[in-house]
Structure 1
């Protein structure tokens, strides 16, 4: 299969590692990014979570010639953003396209019907896939609400979460576990502030706590509050943006992974969507994951108390679970090892690419 991977220039934690997985499975000549994406190829644009591959050097004219010659079996619109869709539209104006699959990596659960109708999408991949009903009445309701009674689209929409490229995740094996619990997160959801408010008091019990909620310079200070009432009061009384001290809480990738390696327990809490890179990189680094239970569909997800441990949705048992697993070394490390093995089998970039290809090949319009 030869894939035209239509992109924009922004970092994408769903489709960027997938691209690397596809290149490794199919070969670089079989996966052509358009336009050439800087973080895939240019050393000065390299991202910490992604290896790079040589640029094939195709111009837009070259790509159009290949399309006219029917060189591609599939076009993948690899981002929900307008720049990616504009790139796809330019190619469509130049001539007919092979079947199009669409990766919607937005952190919401909205189905983008306008994209489906505009490009006649054959397969729709959704990061925040929330439709879990198994009964006929339940599936009917899901189809009606989110898919506007478009049963064909409903049946051709699949979950596709983030994945990792394991060889770029530092392991720091043999590192002393001198941090009982760590949690760093952007202030993108109030649950993160709630989690930090629960973890900080554990330091008074003698546990070593590393972490903090950080924010960008343009973020408002109210985002750091843990409860809805405090956020509302702060929003009214203090419309200021966050201080430089808060901004500096974000660790460099090197410091962050070293902190993970030193942590007995590492916490992941949802951000704008549930699917966050932290949920995968903690396990990929070989560290024990304590997380909320997902409210989205994740095929081959971690199993509770086997690959990771899930706390209650209201975080009411978060402290209790931290205390327990920080002091039960053998049980904790066995779960961390099993989680790491499970991730390599199902959630590294190559198996994610294989899952993606299997779904594409089953779709009637994409079958070869």
Structure 2
């Protein structure tokens, strides 16, 4: 199939992961873009703003001579305003045989909710315009009913961003480097900031992203050095950390996500979930610090599971399989 990918010029994690996977599967012959995605085409940004970068992907850029009749599908890759402005210009020209796919990677649980949050809800197709054939939703809530054409699509991981031969020595016991974008993060930090080595490794309250001293590839290296990493929801249930830690073969204790994740990590086999009130959080950390073999067995299993089910390539193939049924 041949796909036209319309995305934001700014980074968007789900959009970037999906573009990377589609490029690896389809190549520049069957994947085209109309926007100049400098972060995809040029090695300008550090992790995680480089999740969509692939060498030679600039060959997907087709600003002139676009023939929409050639395409099987148009993918609207994000909920960013510039993505939708480009899409709305092309919408009247999209032929009936060409499916229109919307990838909603925003934090808001409503379909297109981020457009409303950004005060551009008018950009979403109205009742007189052609509807989306399929919608892929990152924050696909477990307690919400969706139409049959809405499918769960969480973040994944682009394994090109890791040094595959690097296995760093442990330096930290328990870490949770995060801004307090949800009350449960504040609760967890209050419980552990004076436990283990948290106060020494920077696991503390009132952090600001702009003040992080762990950024880019160094952030991934530091995560790699943690025996235990905690994960709790932020603006959305889905977080990059939920995929980064197991992708590196490291051990994660995480709040159970309130979204549908196909082939999610299994409790006790790939991941450990604390109680909802976190009353056993410190106890669980102590247990897995003391039981290294059990901890590392779970971490290794999570790494294998992530490679099999949650890479950028798997995310792209999942989308392709659904829209070609």
- TM range, smaller chain: 0.7 to 0.9
Q: How many residue pairs align between the two structures?
A: 309
Q: Which residue of 2 aligns with 1:184?
A: 177
Task: Assess if the C-alpha contact under 8 Å between 2:155 and 2:240 holds in 1.
Answer: yes
Q: Which residue of 1 aligns with 2:137?
A: 126
Provide closer, same or farther for how the CA distance between residues 276 and 45 of structure 1 changes in structure 2, counting only shifts above 3 A: same
Task: Assess if the C-alpha contact under 8 Å between 1:179 and 1:210 holds in 2.
Answer: no
Q: Which residue of 2 aligns with 1:261?
A: 224
**CA distance in 2: counterparts of 1:103 and 1:317, whole angstroms:** 37
**CA distance in 2: counterparts of 1:163 and 1:346, whole angstroms:** 9
More helix by share: 1
What is the SS of the residue equivalent to 1:310? Answer: coil
Q: Which residue of 2 aligns with 1:73?
A: 72
Provide closer, same or farther for how the CA distance between residues 2 and 303 of structure 1 changes in structure 2, counting only shifts above 3 A: same
Q: Which residue of 1 aligns with 2:90?
A: 91
**CA distance in 1: counterparts of 2:258 and 2:22, whole angstroms:** 28
**CA distance in 2: counterparts of 1:356 and 1:42, whole angstroms:** 25
| Mean CA deviation greater in 193-202 or 251-260 | 251-260
**CA distance in 2: counterparts of 1:341 and 1:254, whole angstroms:** 22
**CA distance in 1: counterparts of 2:226 and 2:94, whole angstroms:** 54
**CA distance in 2: counterparts of 1:57 and 1:256, whole angstroms:** 30
Q: Which residue of 2 aligns with 1:201?
A: 194
| Mean CA deviation greater in 183-192 or 73-82 | 183-192
Matched ranges for 1:5-24 at <5 A: 5-24=5-24
What is the SS of the residue equivalent to 1:214? Answer: coil
Task: Assess if the C-alpha contact under 8 Å between 1:181 and 1:210 holds in 2.
Answer: no
**CA distance in 2: counterparts of 1:161 and 1:343, whole angstroms:** 13
2:259 pairs with 1:296:
yes
Provide closer, same or farther for how the CA distance between residues 119 and 53 of structure 1 changes in structure 2, counting only shifts above 3 A: farther
Scaled by the length of structure 1, what TM-score is found?
0.78
2:153 pairs with 1:160:
yes
| Mean CA deviation greater in 74-83 or 43-52 | 43-52
Task: Assess if the C-alpha contact under 8 Å between 2:228 and 2:251 holds in 1.
Answer: yes
1:200 Cα shift?
1.2
Task: Assess if the C-alpha contact under 8 Å between 1:5 and 1:31 holds in 2.
Answer: yes
1:59 Cα shift?
4.5
2:102 pairs with 1:107:
no
Matched ranges for 1:178-327 at <5 A: 178-203=171-196, 210-212=202-204, 214-215=207-208, 247-327=210-290
1:74 Cα shift?
0.2
Unaligned runs of 5+ in 2: 114-123
**CA distance in 2: counterparts of 1:171 and 1:185, whole angstroms:** 25
1:131 Cα shift?
3.8
Provide closer, same or farther for how the CA distance between residues 215 and 158 of structure 1 changes in structure 2, counting only shifts above 3 A: same
2:41 pairs with 1:49:
no
Task: Assess if the C-alpha contact under 8 Å between 1:4 and 1:33 holds in 2.
Answer: yes
Rg larger for: 1
Aligned CA-pair RMSD: 2.3
Provide closer, same or farther for how the CA distance between residues 129 and 37 of structure 1 changes in structure 2, counting only shifts above 3 A: same
Query: Aligned match of 2:302 in 339, 345, 353?
Result: 339
